[in-house]
């Protein structure tokens, strides 16, 4: 039963919340886990070793194998050092779970460039930095599994999260291309939009709702996606509270104009242009 046994998997932001659950499950299933966490606050301020160390101790106490790493995924140097930790400790890297994240919520009118950039740096650049550092190793060994932590805030929007939503859907955009580029090397990339009670959601949803969303419920889906058995790539799954739901872009049949339409013709056809009743899964017309 190959699964994730002896696979070296990096989980970023694994010092708490969802990442901790991913790391615990992967280690239970026999993976060799690199537990990365900067150890800062929810908004990304501060740093420390405690969070990653505590999860590594927990894994080792349960008989699993793990090593800690405290680098920030937000820099290329940090991501290189993180992948190097996997290589130095276990001699390979087979999987990356891009889970590290911060929040800087504010309505768009109050959104500062700093708050916008800080969130891109951790989520979008973080996913790029770590995946990019692991990619040559994936190609060389003809195997790689990547999970992007996306969010319904990116897929559908959420008040006060223009920065976060942009980063999270950016990760899906990156995934779409990596799924194509990784095809011939058995590199599979998928995205999970979790819904779970963590410090990130502690003051966002009601206590009653959070009670139904233990983060452990998301972990088996992530575990499957990094396993050898998973042959799917480019999927988006919303996971939480016992539900697992695939989300996909659909496109309608298109309205064709034989000549450049006038504004009146656009107006007249608007209900047909926006009608999704005949929609099918979207495909790239250029590819
Ligand atoms: P969390 O705040 O418990 O976990 C995020 C972890 O990332 C923290 O332990 C933090 O120290 C670490 N981190 C932050 N910046 C880092 C950096 N630069 N380098 C390395 N580590 C860093 O929150 P949670 O809920 O567990 O979130 C995990 C992921 O799931 C995030 O990407 C989040 O955006 C995403 N997500 C969570 C949802 C939920 O319902 N909890 C909903 C949608 C997405």
> The domain that contains 169 carries what CATH number?
3.40.50.720
- Asked, for residue 1, whether it belongs to a domain, the answer is no
According to the model, what pLDDT value does residue 1 have? 53
Which three-class secondary structure state does DSSP give residue 123? helix
Give the residue carrying structure tokens 């696979």. 7
Same domain, 87 and 35: yes
Same domain, 222 and 207: yes
The phi and psi torsions of 264 (rounded to 5 degrees) equal -60, -45
Cα–Cα distance, 243 to 239 (Å, whole number): 6
- Asked, for residue 79, whether it belongs to a domain, the answer is yes
Residue 153, phi-psi category: left (phi > 0), alpha (psi -120 to 50), beta (remainder): alpha
Same domain, 256 and 136: no
Residues of the chain with pLDDT under 70: 1
Same domain, 241 and 255: no
User: What spacing in Å lies between the alpha carbon of 250 and ligand 1's midpoint?
Assistant: 29
- Asked, for residue 205, whether it belongs to a domain, the answer is yes
Same domain, 273 and 143: no
- Asked, for residue 237, whether it belongs to a domain, the answer is yes
- Asked, for residue 243, whether it belongs to a domain, the answer is yes
Same domain, 269 and 222: no
- Asked, for residue 3, whether it belongs to a domain, the answer is no
Under a CB-based contact definition with an 8 Å cutoff, are residues 104 and 118 in contact?
Answer: yes
Residue span of the structural domain in which 152 resides:
8-248
Ligand 1 atom closest to the Cα of residue 121 is: 18
**Active site (annotated) includes residue 156:** no
Same domain, 164 and 119: yes
Same domain, 200 and 267: no
Domain count, the chain: 2
Ligand 1, CB within 6 Å, residue ranges: 12-13, 15-19, 36-40, 42, 44, 51, 72-74, 99-102, 122, 126, 149, 151, 193-196, 198-201
Same domain, 95 and 62: yes
- Asked, for residue 2, whether it belongs to a domain, the answer is no
Under a CB-based contact definition with an 8 Å cutoff, are residues 188 and 144 in contact?
Answer: yes
According to the model, what pLDDT value does residue 204 have? 84
State which of 101, 104, 201 you would mutate to test the pocket of ligand 1, scoring each by most atoms of that ligand within 8 A of its C-beta: 101
- Asked, for residue 286, whether it belongs to a domain, the answer is no
According to the model, what pLDDT value does residue 270 have? 98
According to the model, what pLDDT value does residue 21 have? 98
Same domain, 185 and 274: no
pTM value?
0.97
What confidence tens digit (pLDDT) does each residue in 61-108 have?
Answer: 999 999 999 999 999 999 999 999 999 999 999 999 999 999 999 999
According to the model, what pLDDT value does residue 232 have? 98
Same domain, 134 and 194: yes
Under a CB-based contact definition with an 8 Å cutoff, are residues 232 and 187 in contact?
Answer: no
Same domain, 191 and 258: no
């Amino acid at each position: 039963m190959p699964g994730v046994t002896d696979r070296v998997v990096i989980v970023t932001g694994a010092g708490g919340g969802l990442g901790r659950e991913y790391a615990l499950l992967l280690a239970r299933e026999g993976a060799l886990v690199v537990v990365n966490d900067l150890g800062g606050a929810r908004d990304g301020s501060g740093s420390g070793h405690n969070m990653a160390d505590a999860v590594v101790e927990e894994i080792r106490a349960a008989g699993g194998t793990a090593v800690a790493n405290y680098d920030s995924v937000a820099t290329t140097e940090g991501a290189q050092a993180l992948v190097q930790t996997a290589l130095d400790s276990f001699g390979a890297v087979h999987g990356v779970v891009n889970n590290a994240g911060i929040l800087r919520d504010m309505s768009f009118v109050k959104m500062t460039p700093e708050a916008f950039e800080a969130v891109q740096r951790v989520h979008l650049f973080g996913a790029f930095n770590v995946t990019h550092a692991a990619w040559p190793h994936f190609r060389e060994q003809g195997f790689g599994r990547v999970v992007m932590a996306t969010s319904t805030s990116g897929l559908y929007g959420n008040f006060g999260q223009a920065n976060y939503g942009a980063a999270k859907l950016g990760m899906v955009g990156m995934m779409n291309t990596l799924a194509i580029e990784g095809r011939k090397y058995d590199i599979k990339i998928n995205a999970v939009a979790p819904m779970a009670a963590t410090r990130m959601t502690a003051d966002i949803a009601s206590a009653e709702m959070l009670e139904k969303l233990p983060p452990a419920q998301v972990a088996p889906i992530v575990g499957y996606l990094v396993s050898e058995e998973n042959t799917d790539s480019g999927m988006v799954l919303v996971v939480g509270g016992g539900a697992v739901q695939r989300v996909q872009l659909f496109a309608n049949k298109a309205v064709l104009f034989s000549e450049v339409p006038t504004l009146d013709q656009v107006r007249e056809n608007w209900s047909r242009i926006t009608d999704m009743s005949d929609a099918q899964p979207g495909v790239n017309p250029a590819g």
